[in-house]
Structure 1
Amino acid sequence: MKKSLLIIGALAATISFTSCEENASKKVKAENVEAAAERDANSEKFAVMEFEEKVHDFGNIPQGERQAYTFSFTNTGDVPLVVTNVKSTCGCTVPKKPDGPIAPGEKGEIQVTYNGSGKNQVTKTITVTANTETGKERISIKAFVEPKAAE
């Protein structure tokens, strides 16, 4: 009796799994398979941010004087560059990320504004998160901030 129940249960399970496979294969769309194949083929390709200058020196600046600089770069990679985030090591430095993707061969810009706070030699690093091979690129600004005279 136990053997016959076991055999019937195994037979029922086999039939149900086989029918699920048939139904699932009917639901796969050819265009989705093609899109997945293209995506997988491109998964080895990356965008490349080639900066004209990775470090900008403002030189000597008076304390509290706002400074701005625009970092220019070219996407020398094989796929469109998508910058998802741009952040600074400090709230005194505000970067602005580019709008939309940058096609291969196209140029883009990241504007950085520094409020002139601090004293003496100052260096601020900006981290750019994008679809590059490393996933993060770094640029920086530096300046010698001349302290205000004591009043």
Structure 2
Amino acid sequence: MKILKISMLALTLGLMSFTVISKEETPTVKTTEAGSIAWKSETIDVGQIPQGTPKLIEFQFKNTSSKAVIITNVKPACGCTAADYTKESIAPGKTGYVKATYNAAAAGSFTKTVTVTTSADVNPKVLTFKGNVVAKL
């Protein structure tokens, strides 16, 4: 009986170590097109601004693709920020803008974002501005 168990164990181990050589798979290389928009800056530090005075922040970009680009949506992260942007299509090599107007009502430091969606990129771009609102004396 021991010989039978040892033989079965040896057979099982032999089958487990047996490998089938198969055709080697070639790795899939995924290419992604570089961004079609080159932002002058994705983060702007506005420094100190006086309380109660709205602050205009302008993000500029250049269309680096070979096709026209359209900004399809601009969404500020909060109600304290209003946004404006280039409404017409931006031809290759031309520039456009996204403007954010921050309502500096509350004193203290802040960091705010504006999310921009375009016809050129699948993922939206999140632009950031920050600073410090100085209380009026």
Give TM-score scaled by structure 1 length. 0.63
In the alignment, is the contact (CA less than 8 A) between 1:45 and 1:79 conserved in 2?
Answer: no
Say if 1:135 and 1:78 are closer, same or farther in 2 by CA, change over 3 A: farther
In the alignment, is the contact (CA less than 8 A) between 1:47 and 1:104 conserved in 2?
Answer: no
CA distance in 1, matches of 2:95, 2:121: 18
Higher strand share: 2
Identity of aligned residues (%): 33
Amino acid at match of 1:92: C
Amino acid at match of 1:120: G
RMSD: 2.0
Give unpaired runs (5+ residues) of structure 1: 1-43
In the alignment, is the contact (CA less than 8 A) between 1:120 and 1:145 conserved in 2?
Answer: yes
1:89 to 77, 89, 94: 77
Amino acid at match of 1:52: K
For residues 55-79 of structure 1, give each alpha carbon's deviation from its aligned partner in whole angstroms, at most 9, with x where no partner exists.
1111111221111122111011222
Say if 1:53 and 1:127 are closer, same or farther in 2 by CA, change over 3 A: same
- Aligned residues, how many? 106
Give unpaired runs (5+ residues) of structure 2: 1-31
Higher helix share: 1
Structure 1 moving runs of 4+ over 6 Å: 44-47
2:66 to 55, 73, 78: 78
- Give 1:46 shift: 8.1
2:52 to 61, 64, 68: 64
Q: How do residues 14-33 of structure 1 correspond to structure 2 at under 5 angstroms?
A: none
1:98 is matched with: 86
Q: How do residues 1-151 of structure 1 correspond to structure 2 at under 5 angstroms?
A: 48-149=36-137
For residues 112-131 of structure 1, give each alpha carbon's deviation from its aligned partner in whole angstroms, at most 9, with x where no partner exists.
11111233110110000112
